Amino acid sequence: MNVLITGASGGLGRAFAAECGRRGYNLFLVDINAQGLAALKSGLERRFSVCVATMTCDLTGEASVDALLAHIDRCRIRFDMLLNVAGVDYEGGFLERKRDDIVRIVSLNNEATLRITHAVLSRRDERRRFSLVFVSSLASLYPMPLKATYAASKRFLLDLAVALGHELRDKNVRVLALCPGGMVTTRQAMQGIAAQGFWGAVTTNPLETVAKRTIEGVLHGKHVYIPGFFNRTLSFIGTLLPRSWVAAAIYRRWGKAQKQWLAKETAHGETAA
């Protein structure tokens, strides 16, 4: 089994890589962070003695992706699985963010994902089953004020995954959209979730379990995976209500949370200074 993972050196990418390594899959890891890739490669090789190849690549750049594909073609690699993990979000409301940042959300989360997915799918071995995973988000299920662009970009991936799943079923391709809630991927995420207290703890999905069940899910032909009972219930209730009601409720809750968070941040800043 040959697996390509984009955004491999981030928190979720590393969890996926470790899960694949444990299953004995060969890995091709892509990320923009060269140092992180090198460390992850050595870690996986030491632990699982699997074959690991890496390549630094900015997926938003046409030339950079062409170089990646040329390298794949030179090595004559055929993939059996693609995990689209690479993605980005920036903090702040729509008008508080820089224009370039807003656009970058779509160019990485959507444009770059399409580019690599099309390229890798057309390089698959058609006689074998192919597994395709898009990392969407719980945010994809509703319109989300204060995270509008991000949520919309994740909605794009969710719809794409479900549609492609049906379109490519005869071609022996299984597609899964992963819609996780908060995950503890970085020190900042950990601080954020710890600060949220009880609600942070119940909506947080354990990284190792998400990685394991996602791989199991796509191998068993599952279409959408929302980890966690609480999140599944929440998303089900959300589908029963009008979308604009949900958006308004989210805005109230997040607006408050953000104010508290900002107040805390500034207080911390003052004590540190």
Partner 1 sequence: MDTIVITGATSGIGLASALELARNNFNIIGIGRDPKRCESAKDTIQSSRTSARVTFFAADLMQQREVNRVCDEISKYIEQNCEGKLFSLINNAGCARSWYMTTEEGYEQLFALNHLAGFLVTYRLLPYLISASGRVIMTGSESHKHMRIRWDDVMFQNGYHPLLAYKQSKLCNLLFAKALNDRYGWRGLHAYAVDPGLVHTEIGCKNTGGIVSFVWNNRKRHGVSPDVPAKTYAYLCAQQPAPKGLYFHLCKPRRYSAQVEWKNAERLFRLSETLCGIRYDERMSGI
Q: Which residues bind partner 1 (CB under 8 A)?
A: 9, 11, 14-15, 17-19, 21-22, 35-36, 39-40, 42-44, 46-47, 184-185, 187, 190-191, 193-194, 196-198, 200-201, 204, 206-209, 212
From CA 134, how far away is CA 10, in angstroms rounded? 15
Minimum Å gap between C-beta 131 and partner 1 is: 20
Minimum Å gap between C-beta 210 and partner 1 is: 10
Of the candidates 150, 67, 168, the one whose C-alpha atom is nearest the C-alpha of residue 107 is 150
Q: Within a 10 A sphere around the Cβ of 262, how many other Cβ atoms?
A: 10
Minimum Å gap between C-beta 166 and partner 1 is: 33
Choose between 14 and 154: whose C-beta lies nearer to partner 1: 14
CA 165 to chain centre: 18
Q: Can you name the residues that pair with 225 across neighbouring β-strands?
A: 178
Choose between 51 and 114: whose C-beta lies nearer to partner 1: 51
DSSP annotation of 34 reads H
Choose between 47 and 118: whose C-beta lies nearer to partner 1: 47
From CA 42, how far away is CA 98, in angstroms rounded? 37
Choose between 198 and 229: whose C-beta lies nearer to partner 1: 198
Minimum Å gap between C-beta 37 and partner 1 is: 9
Choose between 93 and 206: whose C-beta lies nearer to partner 1: 206
DSSP H stretches of helix in 128-242: 148-167, 187-196, 198-203, 207-219, 229-240
From CA 55, how far away is CA 32, in angstroms rounded? 9
Burial class (CB in 10 A: 0-12, 13-18, 19+), 263: exposed
Minimum Å gap between C-beta 44 and partner 1 is: 6
